[in-house]
Amino acid sequence: MKKLLIIGAGFAGLRLARKLSKSNFEIWLIDKNNYHQFQPLFYQVATSGLEPSAISFPLRKVFQNQKNVHIRCAEVQSINTTEQKVTTSIGSLPYDYLVIATGATTNFFGNQLVEQNALPMKSVGEALYLRNRILQNFEDALIADNDTRKALLNVVIVGGGPTGVEVSGALAEMKKNILPKDYPEIDFSQMNIYLVEAGPKTLGNMSEASSLKSREYLLKLGVDVMTSVNVTSYDGTTVSLSNGQNIVAKTLIWAAGVKGNVVEGLPASNIVRGNRISVNRHNQVMGLNNVFAIGDIASMSTAKYPNGHPQVATVANEQADLLAANLLLMANGKLPKEYEYSDKGSMATVGRHLAVVDLPNFKFQGFLAWIFWMFLHLMLILGIKNKLLIFVNWMWKYFTFDQSLRLIIKPTKK
């Protein structure tokens, strides 16, 4: 039985393991967490819309009946392709086939001061930390002087992609419907939500209609949208912008870019733009026949996508599906098939009844797009219980204009 080692249990890694769970491969799935996390809804954890458990699913539950799947919680330290082994925090693991599905992390573009003080949102843990920070700021604002209160109330979101747009809209709805009831002593007209985007428009990778509509929706909700502007510095209190403006804010949410989570041990020539791993059309790492990379970490150059495919869940799932089929073909001495991306569209939600959807042959916005966005995300969540939890929370919020998850839960250590 060939040993298949998969690093990472995100969309790509988990999908591949599930596809091959009934095959003759001995599968080892390595991740630093014992759960899969649904990244598109991190922003709802950060804004008190959902609990972390609603968008996380235990890996061991997924594979309870698959005896050929072995799960290990560990940090991967390095790869040795010559000896065909991976060094982890729990020891070395040999492999016959290796699949790297380590995904992406926040890219601060070399700005160390921003990295030290900004709040990323690339994991459930970071989303929960952000929720705590936002809620604690409101508590602190009750007893602060006027200047400090202004900094505590203001929030700056950097990055006008789907994450930035969605978290801006969610915070704007909290400001309107929830926070004045929770904190009647605070004048929330003093709270400003800024969305800062370096490009000329929000949702720059979507259609012109969706981009314009998203900006219109954000302005309608009271978000101050600033395009063609960069954040040059942030010391924890003052946000400095490329247009010369300074904003006082204790919270800066960084949603401006990602870079690949590359594991040490691969040749430097394999690491390309965006800190991604260069692969061929079969997702094989260049020059390594039994090492593959899929999902956000993989950079596959094609005529249509010379700089690699979009780092979205659709690509991760499609590459995992094809690699599962190719590994079975290769195990039987047959030639693997090439990957070709089938773009199924993109979408983003801004707020209640406000969303944009771009499908290959159809684009629409507003209430129908909002319903479509919710339905699709609900279907993609693992587990009936998780789907039910999210649905109940969404319905409760819809009918009450409230969400009852505003808890500041901080870890303690004895």
Give 249-306 pLDDT, tens digit per residue: 999 999 998 999 999 999 999 999 999 999 999 999 999 989 999 999 999 999 889 9
Q: What pLDDT shows up at residue 383?
A: 87
Burial (CB count within 10 angstroms: exposed 0-12, middle 13-18, buried 19+), residue 4: buried
Same domain, 222 and 266: no
Average pLDDT, the chain: 94
pLDDT tens-digit profile of 2-30? 999 999 999 999 999 999 999 999 999 99
Q: What pLDDT shows up at residue 207?
A: 93
Q: What pLDDT shows up at residue 257?
A: 87
Average pLDDT over every residue of 146-165: 95
Q: What pLDDT shows up at residue 342?
A: 83
SS3 357: strand
Q: Which domain holds residue 244?
A: 112-256
H/E run at residue 318: helix 313-331
CA-derived radius of gyration, the chain: 22
Q: What pLDDT shows up at residue 374?
A: 95
SS3 112: helix
Position 413 in a domain = no
Position 180 in a domain = yes
* Closest by Cα among 335, 328, 273, 269 to 300: 273
Average pLDDT over every residue of 384-407: 89
φ, ψ (nearest 5 deg) of residue 32: -75, -20
Position 351 in a domain = no
Same domain, 168 and 242: yes
Position 92 in a domain = yes
Q: Is the pLDDT of residue 82 over 80?
A: yes
Token pair of 337, please? 């098939």
Same domain, 68 and 122: no
Position 348 in a domain = no
Same domain, 119 and 189: yes
H/E run at residue 314: helix 313-331
- Tokens 């020891």 belong to which residue? 91
How far apart CA 104 and CA 254 sit, in angstroms, is 14
How far apart CA 32 and CA 51 sit, in angstroms, is 20
Check residue 185 and report its DSSP letter: T
The residues, ordered by sequence, that sit 6+ positions from 12 with a Cβ below 8 Å of its Cβ are: 101, 103, 294, 295, 296, 316, 317, 319, 320
pLDDT tens-digit profile of 332-385? 889 999 999 988 899 999 999 999 999 988 999 999 999 999 999 999 998 888
Average pLDDT over every residue of 168-197: 95
pLDDT tens-digit profile of 36-53? 999 999 999 999 999 999
* Closest by Cα among 307, 281, 305 to 294: 281
Position 199 in a domain = yes
Instruction: Report H helices in 51-203.
Output: 59-62, 112-117, 124-141, 146-153, 162-177, 179-182
Same domain, 95 and 117: no
343 vs 218, which has greater pLDDT? Answer: 218
Average pLDDT over every residue of 111-140: 95
Same domain, 90 and 80: yes
Same domain, 174 and 203: yes
- Tokens 């693992």 belong to which residue? 382
Token pair of 175, please? 């400001």
CATH of residue 211: 3.50.50.100
SS3 58: strand
Q: What pLDDT shows up at residue 224?
A: 97
Same domain, 249 and 270: no
For residue 267, which amino acid is it?
Answer: P
Q: Which of these three, 256, 289, 308, is where a domain ends?
A: 256
CA 313 to chain centre: 9
- CA distances to 122, 178, 297 from 292, rounded to whole Å, are 23, 47, 10
CATH of residue 269: 3.50.50.60
Position 362 in a domain = no
Q: What pLDDT shows up at residue 183?
A: 95
How far apart CA 196 and CA 194 sit, in angstroms, is 6
How many domains are there within the chain?
2
* Closest by Cα among 50, 24, 53 to 36: 53
User: What is the DSSP annotation of 245-271?
Assistant: -EEE-SEEEE-S-EEE-PPBTS-GGGE
Q: What pLDDT shows up at residue 114?
A: 95
Position 343 in a domain = no
* Closest by Cα among 330, 258, 259, 266 to 100: 266
Q: What pLDDT shows up at residue 403?
A: 78
Q: Which of these three, 217, 233, 256, is where a domain ends?
A: 256
Same domain, 96 and 124: no
What is the signed CA dihedral for 356, 276, 75, 48, rounded to 10 degrees? Answer: -20
Same domain, 240 and 314: no
CA 381 to chain centre: 14
Q: What pLDDT shows up at residue 46?
A: 94
Q: Is the pLDDT of residue 414 over 80?
A: no
Average pLDDT over every residue of 81-94: 95
CA 162 to chain centre: 10
- Tokens 């709040």 belong to which residue? 119
Same domain, 136 and 224: yes
Q: Which of these three, 213, 241, 256, is where a domain ends?
A: 256
Catalytic residue ranges: 166
Strand order in the sheet with 354-359: 346-351, 354-359, 362-365
SS3 161: coil
Cβ atoms of 234 and 252 closer than 8 Å:
yes
How far apart CA 354 and CA 367 sit, in angstroms, is 6
Same domain, 132 and 243: yes
Q: Is the pLDDT of residue 65 over 90?
A: no
pLDDT tens-digit profile of 189-198? 999 999 999 9
